[in-house]
Amino acid sequence: MFSRSHNFEIENQVILITGGSQGLGLEFAKTFLKTTEKTKVIIVSRSLKKLSNACEKITSELSHLQNNSKSKPFTTLSEFQNGNTTRLYYHPCDLSSVVDVETNLQPLLLNIPVSQVFFVAGGTSPRLFKDHSLEELAQGVSMNYLSALYLSKVILSRISTCNHLVFFSSEVSFFPFVGYAQYAPLKTALKTLVCVLRQEFPEKRLSLVYPGNFESEGYSEENLTKPEITKEIEGSSVPISCEECCGKIINSLKHGYDDITTDFIGWVLMSLDMGLNKNWNRSYLWGLQLILGVVANLIIVPIYMVFVNYQIRSWLKKTGTKKRA
């Protein structure tokens, strides 16, 4: 509602991608470098080794990055120069650390004309709340909220060249359920943060993506710890490829949408968040979503929740867990 419409350009940009060493972040980096001639891409994550491996993978797949004898195929962010023809840069940083963001990354960004930021970093280890360690819960806060909170503060306050920030929430922020205590609350918090930022920075384009399941290293790890009741509630879901997920998001951004889902169930869940709610989205067929959301929240959702509650009660009985008296 408050986000001003901008064209989505990927040529002649400086694009910073968090979580760019693997999964969807890596796919965005490859796509932007493959489909443009002058755009520069900066990938950031905590692991220097993973970043180096990611750069090697990207340049091995995109041979044109190696054909320019006047520049390196990739290098560290500290070597960034406006006239440099190198197009791929990497920088290790713990984005959930105030000290690391302020003293390690921010000084470099102040001298770089970043135009777009993709906050892809995040992840989850689905477990029952009682089975999580305190360290795992803290990691959920760090990966899924603080890493976007701190960097977006730097970008919006200090980097005047950046006019487009793309945040990544999750479909479970529309419908949180058992197994996602470490993840869903933080993705919901991120959604709320973007709502506030859109009001405070109406001159910026702030997009929010709610990806469904897609194939990645993180998705494979999720399924190793995911409780059976979580799988039961989710139902059968065939993940799309990282490449397809990336393509859908870029296509939606090009069409001017700023609230983006990557599958039909995500679109339906978003409609429930709109109908009889306070949110207004700039999404695909938003008017239909609003109507569907009102009808579904009045009629369909109450019936569906009876079914979900039955699933949970059956699971509690099966596991011998006593309900509150």
pTM of the model: 0.85
Specify whether 30 is catalytic.
Answer: no
pLDDT in tens, 52-111: 999 999 999 887 776 654 668 899 999 998 778 899 999 999 999 999 999 999 999 999
Q: Specify whether 133 is catalytic.
A: no
**Are the beta carbons of 274 and 289 closer than 8 angstroms?**
yes
Catalytic residue among 30, 40, 72, 187: 187
Query: Residue 77 carries which side chain, given as an amino acid letter?
Result: L
Give residue 52's region: left, alpha or beta (phi > 0; psi -120 to 50): alpha
Q: 3-state class of 71 per DSSP?
A: coil
For the chain, what is the total number of helices (H) and then of strands (E)? 13, 8
Query: Which of 21, 115, 125, 169 is labelled catalytic?
Result: 169
Q: 304 lies in a domain?
A: no
- Mean pLDDT for 16-42 is 95
**Helix 23-34 with 48-61: angle, nearest 10 deg:** 40
Is 286 a residue whose pLDDT tops 90?
no
What confidence score (pLDDT) does residue 236 get? 67
State the average pLDDT over residues 184-197.
Answer: 94
What domain count does the chain have? 1
Q: Taking residues 275-282, what's their average pLDDT?
A: 67
Most confident of 44-48, 70-74, 264-268, 281-285: 44-48
Query: Residue 97 corresponds to which tokens in the numbers above?
Result: 């650390």
Assigned domain for 309 exists: no
Residue in the block written with tokens 């973007």: 194
Examine residue 307 and state whether it is found in any structural domain, yes or no. Answer: no
Would you say residue 315 lies in a domain? Answer: no
Confidence of residue 295 (pLDDT cuts 50, 70, 90): confident
Q: What is the mean pLDDT of residues 244-261?
A: 95
Instruction: Specify whether 183 is catalytic.
Output: yes
Q: Give the total residue count for the chain.
A: 325
pLDDT digits (tens, 9 = 90+) for 196-246: 999 899 999 999 999 988 887 767 677 778 888 888 877 766 789 999 999
Is 181 inside any structural domain?
yes
> Which candidate, 210, 215, 105, places its Cα nearest to that of 167?
210
In a domain, 236, yes or no: yes
Question: Containing domain of residue 129, as a range?
Answer: 14-298
Name the catalytic one among 150, 180, 183, 210: 183
pLDDT value at position 4? 47
**Residue 256, in any domain of the structure:** yes
**CATH number for the domain harbouring residue 46:** 3.40.50.720
pLDDT score of 2? 40
Classify residue 214: in a domain, yes or no.
yes
Q: What is the mean pLDDT of residues 45-52?
A: 94
The better pLDDT of the pair 109, 175 is held by: 109
Q: Which residue in 153, 147, 21 sits closest to 90, CA to CA? A: 21
